Amino acid sequence: MSTVAIETSPAVPLNPRSRVLLASLVGTTIEFYDFYVYATAAVLVFPHLFFPAGNDTTALLASFAVFGAAMIARPLGAVFFGHLGDKRGRKITLVGALLTMGIATFLIGLLPTYPLAGWIAPALLVLLRLAQGFALGGEWSGAALVATENAPKGKRAIFGTFPQLGAPIGFIIANGLFLIIAAALPSGDPSRPSQAFLDWGWRIPFLFSAVMVVVGLWVRLNLVESKAFERAVRSGQVHKLPFAAALRTYWKELILGTFYMLATYVLFYLMTTFSLSYGRAAVTAPLPGLGYDYRSFVLMMIIGVVFFGVFTLVSGPWADRHGRRKTLIVVTSAIAIFGLLWVPMLKAGFVGVMAWLILGFALMGMTFGPMGALLPELFPANVRYTGSGISYNVSSILGAAVAPFIAVALWSAGGGSPFLVGLYLTVMALLTLIALLIGKETQHVDIDA
């Protein structure tokens, strides 16, 4: 085993629990805010501004393709930031990931559009989107490690839900801000934003990211390293190449972790990105949808996301009491059934659509919450940042990168019916279920070892 020893003080200061929870929550909230700002703009704005005018469906697919490009960069970010996190520590790595995401998001708000710059505009958009994905590839695993490596005994899953809470909170802030701007710059056409919104209003959420990053940096710079990492340093167990060590020794855990996350990712992006397209599409459009105006449907989504946050918190005590594996087997089975219920729920009017959003986001919370503990528990401290990050982010390619694109293609193939999209979710859930049945319980592993 190739390792390198780093000198450090034998006295390891402890992070106060409140600081741990705040640092893991604030950072992922900012990162997911930045990601959701792009996801919303990918549906609402970018098809109109960054691609040639013509076929609306083609423009939407192109916008989703750029959206998915970030998922390809995420495993690269996981390797890069994982290498730093497993060699130099969690704190400095988390600061770097946050800065990278914030700068990329801010610069998207300054980009020229296609009518002004031609193909340079979408090229720059792709470049900055890749930077967003690269940053998020290093953010999640670091935040999860800050929470779980500092958690008291028997409460790792509870602490692990706090970085996961960044997803629903970031969604609400991002879409709430878009909603306020859209209300201030109203459009006479419910299927299209106003000209003022397209000219400059859409840039505000991207530029606002700079303010949130400053707050996140202040919180994270006050952290100290975790006991688990410091112990690995003192014992000379820090690898020169954590990525190579993880592939060589923990390849089974990498594969299992990737498939553990698959259903979570597909559900996540179907309920956020795809649902916004489907909900706003006119009933009489070439690709018929639900026919809601933007503000009404986003408000409905925000209500659903509240359940996402609530059930993320609920999942922590449940996973600590019953185990991660058993909890996720039950929840993943429910996701598979949920995919088969899309048509009857979405055809049942407002009540059915609202029930669909609430149930989908509640299941999202129950499956996403335990991942904050489960994936780090698969790996020892000296490859934990790298291993959990690779599993989490490779799964983003198999699930999130292609989910919106596949969903639109299935939506089109079904003549506007959501049946095939729901069936796609069911199939992905079954793959995750198989992985969970193969894997072992991690609840009682010694995370400091």
Q: How far is CA 275 from CA 133, 228, 294, 298, 368, in A?
A: 21, 41, 11, 10, 18
Q: Which residue has the higher pLDDT, 292 or 30?
A: 292
Question: Any bridge partners for residue 4, and if so which?
Answer: 238
Q: How far is it, in rounded angstroms, from Cα 5 to Cα 404?
A: 45
Q: How far is it, in rounded angstroms, from Cα 296 to Cα 352?
A: 15
Residues 6+ apart with CB under 8 A from 323: 441, 443
Mean pLDDT of 20-33: 85
DSSP conformational letter for 109:
T
Question: What pLDDT band is residue 26 in, cutting at 50, 70 and 90?
Answer: confident
pLDDT beyond 80 at 13:
no
pLDDT of residue 11: 45
Q: What tens digit of pLDDT does each residue of 369-409 get?
A: 999 999 999 999 899 999 999 999 999 888 877 887 899 89
pLDDT of residue 55: 67
Residue 238: what are its φ and ψ, rounded to 5°?
Answer: -80, 125
Residues 6+ apart with CB under 8 A from 333: 429, 433
Q: pTM of this prediction?
A: 0.86
Q: How far is it, in rounded angstroms, from Cα 233 to Cα 62?
A: 46
Q: Would you say 191 and 282 are in contact if contact means Cβ atoms under 8 Å apart?
A: yes
Q: How far is it, in rounded angstroms, from Cα 396 to Cα 405?
A: 13
Q: How far is it, in rounded angstroms, from Cα 234 to Cα 6?
A: 7
Q: Which of 353, 334, 165 is nearest to 271 (CA)?
A: 353
Mean pLDDT of 396-423: 89
Mean pLDDT of 57-61: 75
Angle between helices 203-220 and 90-108 (to 10 degrees): 170
Question: What pLDDT band is residue 227 in, cutting at 50, 70 and 90?
Answer: confident
pLDDT beyond 80 at 225:
no
Q: Per-residue b/e over 39-56, b at no fewer than 16 CB within 10 Å?
A: bbbbbbbbbbbbbeeeeb
| Mean per-residue pLDDT of the chain | 89
Q: Which residue has the higher pLDDT, 61 or 100?
A: 100
pLDDT of residue 191: 64
Number of H helices, E strands in the chain: 22, 2
Q: Which of 375, 366, 387 is nearest to 429 (CA)?
A: 366
Would you kindly state where each structural domain of the chain is located, as residue ranges? 14-438
Q: What tens digit of pLDDT does each residue of 315-324 get?
A: 999 999 999 9
For 14-438, give the CATH class. mainly alpha
Angle among Cα 213, 230, 12 to the nearest 5 degrees reads 90
DSSP conformational letter for 367:
H
Q: Would you say 339 and 198 are in contact if contact means Cβ atoms under 8 Å apart?
A: no
pLDDT of residue 12: 46
Q: What tens digit of pLDDT does each residue of 167-180 get?
A: 999 999 998 999 99
Mean pLDDT of 13-39: 81
Mean pLDDT of 435-444: 96
pLDDT of residue 372: 96
Q: What tens digit of pLDDT does each residue of 230-270 get?
A: 787 787 778 889 999 999 999 999 999 999 999 999 999 89
Question: What pLDDT band is residue 190 in, cutting at 50, 70 and 90?
Answer: low
- Region of 416 please: left (phi>0), alpha (psi -120 to 50) or beta: left
% of the chain with per-residue pLDDT over 90 = 54
- Structure tokens given for 319: 């996973």
Question: Any bridge partners for residue 238, and if so which?
Answer: 4
Question: What pLDDT band is residue 90 in, cutting at 50, 70 and 90?
Answer: confident
- Structure tokens given for 20: 């741990």
